[in-house]
Chains A and B, each alone.
Chain A
């Protein structure tokens, strides 16, 4: 039977050589993360449409200046992350250390600004209980902040390994994985920023 003949044809594995398991895993992980933030953003949008006036009034009280600075900080950190990855590929250990360190610092800067911003808002009485907009604001930025924190820790660990010199030769691809994650965190912020700060 001809169908058997086709079935007998020997296929080469297209597997291992094309995809690296680790990278694949990170992508699947990010796909599920996208759905978490997607659900959150979707809910936020539904509320926004439903309660036109009241929300934009509340949205006026977020701190656009700090928000913008933080956007800049996070974008820059994505850049340094890319540089770190490039340095790893070139096996330039000095530059890898430098850029990993910078990425960590920028991440911490972002968190610092964010904390300052929270403090200011809470001082004005805009706590998470001050209305649904604020509940969403704290939930979305808070969850994002947690992700930034995780990224900082991961990059810091890589930086320590880079300083000690044991990032090479076996685990240097972790910088790429961490980078993918870090860019994702950045992209989430790119969505949150206009939604929370610019849409009144």
Chain B
């Protein structure tokens, strides 16, 4: 099943996948034990002549302990999942590492627009550049995004980065990632946003540092 996830190319993707596997093993054990007991009972405790059902109503503590002890274990495991989850969550959605690469992502029916601040590193100036459906970033460098929407709610989803963040009109939502492998990857929209929801596809280009410099030079030739 490990292969079912899309390839991971972000620094925090492994933390998210690890969370999944941690839970997978914990609940997997719970699943196997509980289903196994059910199956055992189905086959071994069928009605047979001369045998009467045991009168167990769980009112004695010694009986009910069979429920309470596993429940206590589940409780402790739950807390474990919560703790592990908390640190992963803050890593992904918390404060982004410092960086000089900033991009504004704007969802609109049915495109992703990526706005670069240009050489002056400021948004809202003449050298801003907006590209449709293409996000270009260098490898191994944190990238900070501000996610916005022009109309309805979209969700910026890059499966390989394990990055998903809703784009909500009226809000500017920060996000970040750091890609660890070059290549071309798909960007999707994960929130129903109208009849063109399924066409809201974009591309993430992760360049080597040199390629990225070249790309920048191509886009802003004067500087």
Q: Which residues of A contact B (CB under 8 A)?
A: 1, 3
Contacts and interface: CB of A to CB of B under 8 A. Distances in A.
Interface residue SS majority, chain B: loop
A3 B55 CA distance: 11
B57 interface: yes
Interface of B: 55, 57, 59
Contacts of B59: 3
Q: Give me the 3 closest cross-chain CB pairs, A-B, nearest first.
A: A3-B59, A3-B57, A1-B55
A3 B57 CA distance: 9
B57 to A, nearest CB: 7
3 contacts: A1-B55, A3-B57, A3-B59
A142 to B, nearest CB: 25
A1 B57 CA distance: 11
B90 to A, nearest CB: 24
Contacts of B55: 1
A3 B59 CA distance: 8
Contacts of A1: 55
Nearest to A7: B57
A53 B152 CA distance: 27
B22 to A, nearest CB: 35
A3 B58 CA distance: 11
Nearest to A2: B59
B172 to A, nearest CB: 15
A126 to B, nearest CB: 23
B96 to A, nearest CB: 24
B64 to A, nearest CB: 13
A189 B46 CA distance: 63
Contacts of B57: 3
A128 B76 CA distance: 52
A132 B59 CA distance: 57
A3 B60 CA distance: 10
Contacts of A3: 57, 59
A78 to B, nearest CB: 41
B178 to A, nearest CB: 33
Nearest to A3: B59
A1 B59 CA distance: 12
A1 B55 CA distance: 10
B63 to A, nearest CB: 12
B179 to A, nearest CB: 35
A3 B63 CA distance: 14
Nearest to B59: A3
A2 to B, nearest CB: 9
A74 B81 CA distance: 54
Nearest to B55: A1
A135 to B, nearest CB: 16
B56 to A, nearest CB: 11
A190 to B, nearest CB: 33
A196 B57 CA distance: 56
Nearest to B57: A3
B45 to A, nearest CB: 21
A189 B59 CA distance: 50
A137 B59 CA distance: 55
